[in-house]
Amino acid sequence: MSLRQYIYISTALELQEDDIRSILESCMRHNKEKGVTGLLLYNGRNFLQLLEGEEADLKWVLDRIKLDARHSGISTLEDEPCEQRACPDWLMRHIRLLDDVEDRRKRLDEQLPEVLNPRLRRIILNFASLN
């Protein structure tokens, strides 16, 4: 067993209204089958995604994500072994960001799991502070 946590950011390309919904539908099927969990943030231009799971399963999902034409410029921010999942119950939680940057950071901080490693929490909150 080798559990990992992976975070990347990317730039969305020509995203339609329905795209987030369709991405989440794929997540429900594949992440459930592969035991991959995590969260997805979208700020209108960029994605940040935290994925966690067994190494081989994570790679399977990531290989698909990297080929997805709905985004580009995937940049890895974190790729580390971990002891426990931060979001065991989230097949893929889409967290909506509030308009106001101050409120957004505070609200997101409250929504992130308590057991989330503080370094990862900072990375995610910093992404949410970008405008």
User: Which residues are at the interface with ligand FMN (CB under 6 A)?
Assistant: 23, 26-27, 30-31, 40, 47, 49, 51, 61, 64-65, 68, 70-71, 92
Q: Which helix (H) or strand (E) covers residue 11, if one does?
A: strand 3-12
| 5 vs 49 by CB, closer to ligand FMN | 49
List, in sequence order, every residue forming a beta bridge with 8; answer none if it has no partner.
Answer: 49, 76
| 11 vs 126 by CB, closer to ligand FMN | 11
Token readout for 53 is 């799971």
End-to-end CA gap in the chain: 39
| 70 vs 106 by CB, closer to ligand FMN | 70
| 70 vs 121 by CB, closer to ligand FMN | 70
To the nearest whole angstrom, how small is the minimum distance from the Cβ of residue 107 to ligand FMN?
21
Token readout for 73 is 């410029």
To the nearest whole angstrom, how small is the minimum distance from the Cβ of residue 24 to ligand FMN?
8
To the nearest whole angstrom, how small is the minimum distance from the Cβ of residue 85 to ligand FMN?
14
DSSP letters, 34-98, are HT-EEEEEE-SSEEEEEEEEEHHHHHHHHHHHHT-TTEEEEEEEEEEE-SS-S-TT-SSEEEPPP
Token readout for 126 is 């910093």
To the nearest whole angstrom, how small is the minimum distance from the Cβ of residue 66 to ligand FMN?
8
